[in-house]
Structure 1
Amino acid sequence: MDKKQLKSRQDSNTREFYCASIRAMSGEGNERKFELSFSSEEPYERWDYVEILEHTEDAVDLIRLNEIGCVLFNHNRDVVIGKIEKAWLQDNRGYAVIEFDTDEESDKFYMKVKNGVLKGVSVGYRVTLWEEVGANKKSTDGRFTGPCSIAKKWFPYEISIVSIPADATVGVGRDLENHENTHQSLNLYQKQIQINKNYI
């Protein structure tokens, strides 16, 4: 990776990450709760490098998601439709239980998820520490083979229900600090395309 590519990667440490599978929870009191998988260690090929999100306890910081995490619609911070009951790591994956609010707007999205109309899930996350692994080299822990860029420290900051379902050909990230111009975001951050192929 040359200096220009590395700077581009470092400047885009904030991403949105699409995944599939929302499962309704059963039992009394769980009517508005769903369990989902939102991340894994599967390599994701970007335009100029391969990214891997490490899923060890030391790598993933779930504090923000567990303490103040919200469920949004399409990453719109003004459209809060629920809360994150809990988030955890299991078998090198990130999981969460979410609960929809009961107000009129949230209820609309709850019904669409319940009826299978909305199936897409996306998580916004920020990477704070990378490990660069050269071609045919092993990562420091010996778990991954390069070339790849491994997120050694990262945190998810929100989970969204999205109108674009998980698909191997779609998913465009946007910067955490600038959601103002969607068309501009698509042009600037197309290299952040990333699909999570996890299924519960």
Structure 2
Amino acid sequence: MRFSIVAVVACLAGVTNAHFRLNYPEPRGAFVADDEPKFCGGHDNAVNNRTTFPLSDGFFTIKAGHPGWTAGVIISTVQNPTSFDNFTVNGEQQLVKGYAKEDAAGTFCIPLNISAANIPGVKEGSNVTIQVVFEGGDGNLYQCADLTLSNNATISSNSTCKNETSDHGHGSDAPKPSQTAGSVQNLAGYTGLFMGFGSMALLLL
């Protein structure tokens, strides 16, 4: 019986560690851990106060509480996407950041050049929604952000672009700064993440 209890506790701890947060751009709705396996983290409708986001040379930041994870970003040009189908064309995901793997937990700032993906309907002034797809070992998790794209968008100084890794999830070790960047251009040297691996069978909607 003692072994069974320990096994259950270990399993629950693993589930908790797999959570992630989209820090920037501002996510659609409040973070609810139990809803992360749902479409857009449980928030089905687009917000009215969309984030104005760079059409080119933007970035997004996430906090991963679980080492050894894979993530990518898909996009919808539907005004109010309410299902995974709105992020696909002819059954294929509309990727704006190919799936890639990272071994460490921590906070990561990742380049996001939406215009480079050449998605039809993505242009100056477009209202779009991005959905981060995250897999930490126990199933896919999702967070969305509703955006208005602009060539002249500026990112607030409150949205810092910084990478901090830790050996274990949820702050059990002190964070280890791996890079601090004052601008998107400085992120080019960060090679540990998102090198365009393309779609992976591991993350299927």
Please classify the TM superposition score into its range, dividing by the shorter chain length.
Answer: 0.3 to 0.5
TM-score, normalised relative to structure 2 = 0.32
TM-score, normalised relative to structure 1 = 0.33
